Structure 1
């Protein structure tokens, strides 16, 4: 208890300690000078008189007789009492605040210990809030580290959310929490240097931790990777991809088709012959709205030939793909980008000769209804 008390007292706000010290010195100088000029004492006795009067001890060695002496002694004693009350109040208030802080931190650590598992989110800024929203929608336990006081105050603690007001670059608590119970550490601050330091801090203690870091600048992606981040996400890269996708919307077509694996190469050949790019493939589970997606991003016929040859040579791959087609009842969608609408019309006409076209630009909900009927 004694160690805790000393620790709390040593953390009194500097501005209060400074102002208190200035007041004490000012009052002491007033007492010494006044004792010499008004009480007509020598320098040593003036120091003695000032101290005992400020402390309201009053041994009676020197008694004021004149009116000005009595006024001086009264103001010095009242100043000493007021100053003691001021300093004591500061110490008591700060002590209570620190005790409340330690008690609150203890409750937070207890809540964390009671969690079966959790995600750690470092940074609650523009990107961090989006990440937190996604985690919250999935009812995940989240521990949020945020150093900015105003931003931290916006975090609402609950059974699944614990906010910690600490700078993760200056405190090793984040490394201690990134242990076995931690599913993933998401570092989303806007400062790449801080992100790099946090990655190093966590990786040094937890070599098995799964770390996802944000890179604000492209040139820092490789640095974060070397530091130990498992995945790096750059808003610049993802933002550029989103801009590209949005820009291609007038020239992007979603075709939902039904065919077996023997038609894959023919289908791909038709797409490339029309100068189009196969962007994505969505496999639709019967009656389920969310599809299984696979990124392709190719318009090279050689890629199609390699894929066909691999299926012919690798029986396990062929069986696995066939099983997938059986599960989805051979229904899947292609996202195809092309130069213009006229090309898409020709593409649809040629594809219709080889595969069954269920529809174009259907929503996942519409496809789920169709696959449920076909199931």
Structure 2
């Protein structure tokens, strides 16, 4: 308790502390000079008289007699009283503010303690804001740590969101929060150097924590992994891919089909024949909106032929693929990029000869309604 009170009384706002110190020094000089020239005292007595008058003690050993002396003593005493009140008010206000913050911090720590589990989000910038929205939409408990005051003030606290205005590199804070109830720690500041230090601090304090970090530059991905991050995500790289896909949107075709794994090579041949690229394959579980997605990026027919030969020589892999097809009732979608829409029309006609086409450019929600009937 003594330690807390000491911090409260010593950590005064610098602006007001400096102002108070300047006023005290100024008034003290005024008292010494006035006592020396107006009261006619020597230097030692001038210091003594200034102190007792400013402190309103007034022992009466030096009594002003002339008008100018009385005016001087009055102004010195009144200024001393006002200054004492000012300084006391600073101390009291600062003490009350510290007590308020301490009480608020204690309530927040209790709220975190009462959570069954939670995510820790370090950094509430542009990316951190999106991450928080994603987590809260899924009713997850989140502890947000942000050292920037302006960003911290912009965090909307809810029942399942607790914000802490501190530096995430403080080992004591992270080690206290990154316990068994912490699902994951997400480091999302916009500065890779800060992310690196935060990851190192977290890993040192919590060896078993699951850490996901943001990386703004690709060359820092390996550094963050070496520092202890389990996963490193680059929003810039992801954003670049999204920009590419959006720019090619008029030349993207999502075609939902039904066939077994034995028709894979024939599909590859048709797609490559039309100069198109198989970007990915989505496997639609019956009645579930979010599909299982495999990134392919196959352009040449030789890619498909190589995979076909692999399945022929690896029966376990072929059996696993067949089981996947059975799970989704052979319904899946191909995301295909191509030169133009005319090419897509020709490609679709050729695919109709070997596949059962369920739909073109269907949404996942529409596909889920169709596959729900397969249950």
TM class, shorter-chain normalised? over 0.9
Report the number of matched residues: 375
Q: Which sits farther off after the overlay, 164-173 or 220-229?
A: 164-173
1:184 is aligned to 2:180? no
Q: Which residue of 2 aligns with 1:274?
A: 274
Cα 1:312/1:169, change in 2 over 3 Å: same
Distance in structure 2 (CA, Å) of the matches to 1:43 and 1:369: 96
Could you tell me which runs of 5 or more consecutive residues in structure 2 were left unpaired when the two chains were aligned. none
Moved more, 163-172 or 5-14: 163-172
Structure 2 residue 218 is matched with structure 1 residue 225? no
Q: Which residue of 2 aligns with 1:31?
A: 31
* Residue 289 of structure 1: how far off its partner (Å): 2.4
Secondary structure of 1:32's counterpart equals: helix
d(CA) in 2 for partners of 1:319, 1:176: 48
What's 2:370 paired with? 370
- Shift in alpha-carbon separation, 1:300–1:180, aligned structure 2, 3 A: farther
In the other structure, the counterpart of 1:97 is 97
Report the Cα offset of residue 127 of structure 1: 1.1
CA contact (8 A) 1:172 1:201 kept: no
Q: Residues 311 and 318 of structure 2 are in contact (CA less than 8 Å); yes or no, is this contact kept in structure 1? A: yes
Task: Describe the superposition over 1:285-308 as per-residue Cα deviations: whole angstroms up to 9, x where unpaired.
Answer: 223322222211112333323332
For 1:258, the equivalent position in structure 2 comes to 258
Residue aligning to 2:241? 241
1:124/1:188 contact within 8 Å kept: yes
Structural mapping, 1:1-375, within 5 Å: 1-169=1-169, 172-375=172-375
The ranges of structure 1 where at least 4 consecutive aligned residues each deviate by more than 6 angstroms after the TM superposition are none
Q: CA deviation at 1:92?
A: 0.6
Q: 1:301 and 1:176, CA in 2 relative to 1: closer, same or farther beyond 3 A?
A: farther
**Cα deviation, residue 264, structure 1:** 1.7
Relative to the length of structure 1, the TM-score reads 0.95
Instruction: Tell me: CA distance 1:205–1:171, structure 2 relative to 1, closer, same or farther (3 Å).
Output: closer
Give me the whole-angstrom Cα distance separating, in 2, the residues matched to 1:128 and 1:116. Answer: 22
Counterpart-to-counterpart distance in 1, 2:271 and 2:247: 20
Q: Distance in 1 between matches of 2:369 and 2:56?
A: 89
Answer with 228-237 or 18-27: which moved more: 228-237
Q: Distance in 2 between matches of 1:138 and 1:194?
A: 28
Deviation per residue, 1:352-374 (Å, 9 max, x gap) = 11111112112222222322334
The SS at the match of 1:180 is: coil
Q: Distance in 1 between matches of 2:308 and 2:175?
A: 48
* Displacement after TM superposition at 1:103 (Å): 1.1
Contact 2:171–2:201 under 8 Å retained in 1:
no
Per the normalisation by structure 2, the TM-score is 0.95
